[in-house]
Amino acid sequence: MKVAFAGTAPLAADVLERLAESQPIDYVLTRPDAPRGRGRHSGPPPAKVAAERLGIPVHQPERPALPEPVDRVVVCAYGLYIPPRLLEQSLWLNVHPSLLPRWRGAAPVERAILAGDAETGVTIHRTVAELDAGPIAAKDAFAIGELDAGGVYGRAGELAAQQLASVLPDPQFTPQPEDGATYAEKIAPADRELHLDDPVDAWRRVRALSPHIGAWTTFHDRRVTVWAARLEGGVFVPEVVQPEGRRRMSYEEFLRGVR
């Protein structure tokens, strides 16, 4: 069985590395190198870095294309629209970090935490023209608890690799219901602002946007990104913060600097 992998983001790199331990990957499709970080220097996407470390050939077309025929294409956090003509050339299986049909779309992990969901999971489904609406080959849940987005993505990557190892040889599909479908819109600038008059929402927002995006507020007339926090007796307590233009530090260290 010939298998290709299409992915871009850190979750894709994680799933690729785990999957490659049990399944040979013929090649990886990922997005072109792009400006990254503060210096905006061109850099490779995480999936490319993982593929090169594993010795897997990498293709970076501006638009998705299969350089050679394969039996399966695993898609995970790719970020490019896959046209129907390509979906007809192979069986495309999408890794989606939610319990579909809940949280279809771009930011399922972040939206699940923001909404206070008790659990999330990973769904493997056939890629179809409609967004995250294909029939399901595997769906498994796990508790969110007090995990931040980084923790949820880590658990999702581990679970996805286990599911793929099971379903890739002979996937059996069940239709995905429309009842209960919700959509996870991209994180917008307004989503990053903490509302400290609602401690529970602020705590969820910090967890939903850590460690990859960051939620911010104003302390002592300074804009500060809050990377970690806790609830203590219903009170929002910052733990790790980053004043604008400064490094990350404990909240206690920040307060000493203010004094």
Which SS3 state, helix, strand or coil, does residue 182 take? coil
State in words which class domain 189-258 has.
Answer: alpha beta
Q: DSSP letter at 174?
A: B
Give ranges for CATH 3.40.50.170 in the chain.
3-184
Which helix (DSSP H) or strand (DSSP E) does residue 196 occupy? none
C-beta of residue 66 within 8 angstroms of C-beta of residue 85: no
| CA distance linking residue 80 with residue 74, whole number of Å | 14
Residues 176-227 pLDDT 10s = 999 999 999 999 999 999 999 999 999 999 999 999 999 999 998 899 999 9
The pLDDT score that the predictor gives to residue 37 is: 64
The pLDDT score that the predictor gives to residue 41 is: 77
pLDDT < 50 stretches in the chain: none
Give ranges for CATH 3.10.25.10 in the chain.
189-258
Least Cα distance to 104 among 131, 122, 126, 80 occurs for 131
CATH topology for the 3-184 domain: Rossmann fold (3.40.50)
Residue 222, strand partner residues: 219
Alpha helices (runs of H) in 44-197, residue ranges in sequence order: 46-54, 84-87, 108-114, 149-167
Least Cα distance to 212 among 199, 225, 203, 222 occurs for 225
Q: What is the pTM of this model?
A: 0.94
Residues 35-54 pLDDT 10s = 876 666 789 999 999 999 99
Residue linked to tokens 């919700």? 182
